[in-house]
Amino acid sequence: MKRQFMNGYDAVKDIADGSTIMVGGFGLVGIPEQMILGLVESGVKGLTVISNNCGVDEWGLGLLLKNHQINKMIGSYVGENKEFERQVLSGELDVELTPQGTLAERIRAGGAGIPAFYTPAGVGTQVAEGKETRIFDGKEYVLEKGLKADYSLIRALKADEMGNLLYNKTARNFNPMIAAAGKVTLAEVEEIVPTGTIEPDSIHTPGIYVQGILEAIQEKRIERRTVREG
């Protein structure tokens, strides 16, 4: 039985100033919305945030940015957020841009007990500057380090009471790796179901990685609603 929270604030209120947090999601899909709103409410400051994107101006991690709660951001694509660009250019926000696949693998490695690994992504670019490189079978690779976090905040479709998780479609994205890379992992889900009702073969994230769960309703805002005609 994993701890269950009342609301987003209740889930994240113990996160202290200066913490490193990882947040799941790709764009606004699969983000733990209610826990992010909880962070806005708690007013925690000086966060290092590891997440593929940084939300949009009025939603997701963009809310923390607007509130000046983030000191440093590690991500791969932050182009949807004007305030982000403003804070970086003015020197208020420190940013480490990482190729998306490298970011996913750094998080996976962090959660899997692997301190570093070699990847071809970024070789010959500014991403590789100052990093060790090595040639294997005639091809150059750059050494990238694993990432861990004090807290991991993720979103899934379902959790059972043991914290086993099932994701929905492309809302899975970074969430499974982030689940494993946090000292404390908190999962926001659409539904908590009785233990035993998710088929063991269908579980995407085993409950061992999850310390607490929050059942909540998500708005699921859409960044680019594209439909076909007719």
Partner 1 sequence: MKGIKSNVRERIARRAEEEIKSGYYVNLGIGMPTLVANYISENKVVVLQSENGLLGIGAYPAEDEVDPDLINAGKETVTAIKGASYFNSAESFAMIRGEHIDLAILGGMEVSAQGDLANWMIPGKMIKGMGGAMDLVHGARKITVIMDHVNKNGAPKIVNKCSLPLTGKNVVNRIITDRAVLDVTKKGLVVREIAKGFTLEEVENSTEPDIIVPSSICYDAY
Residues forming contacts to partner 1 in the complex (CB under 8 A) are 26-30, 52, 75-80, 84-85, 88-89, 95, 97, 99-105, 107-108, 119-127, 167-177, 204, 220-228, 230
Pairing assessment for the beta strands 70-75 and 47-50 based on DSSP bridges: parallel
- Beta-sheet strands, E only, within 25-138: 47-50, 70-75, 94-97, 116-119, 133-136
Q: Which is nearer to partner 1, 42 or 185 (CB)?
A: 185
CB of 42 to partner 1, least distance (A): 26
Q: Which is nearer to partner 1, 84 or 151 (CB)?
A: 84
Q: Under a CB-based contact definition with an 8 Å cutoff, are residues 123 and 129 in contact?
A: no
Q: What is each CA distance from 75 to 72, 139, 146, 202, 217, in whole angstroms?
A: 10, 26, 14, 29, 26
d(CA 108, CA 114): 8
CB of 74 to partner 1, least distance (A): 11
Task: Take residue 185 and report the two structure tokens written for it.
Answer: 């992992």
Cβ neighbourhood burial of 223 (10 Å; 0-12, 13-18, 19+): middle
CB of 228 to partner 1, least distance (A): 4
CB of 53 to partner 1, least distance (A): 8
Query: The tokens 């804070």 sit on which residue?
Result: 87
Q: Which is nearer to partner 1, 40 or 95 (CB)?
A: 95
CB of 120 to partner 1, least distance (A): 4
Q: Which is nearer to partner 1, 14 or 219 (CB)?
A: 219
Which residue type sits at 117?
A: F
Q: Which is nearer to partner 1, 16 or 116 (CB)?
A: 116
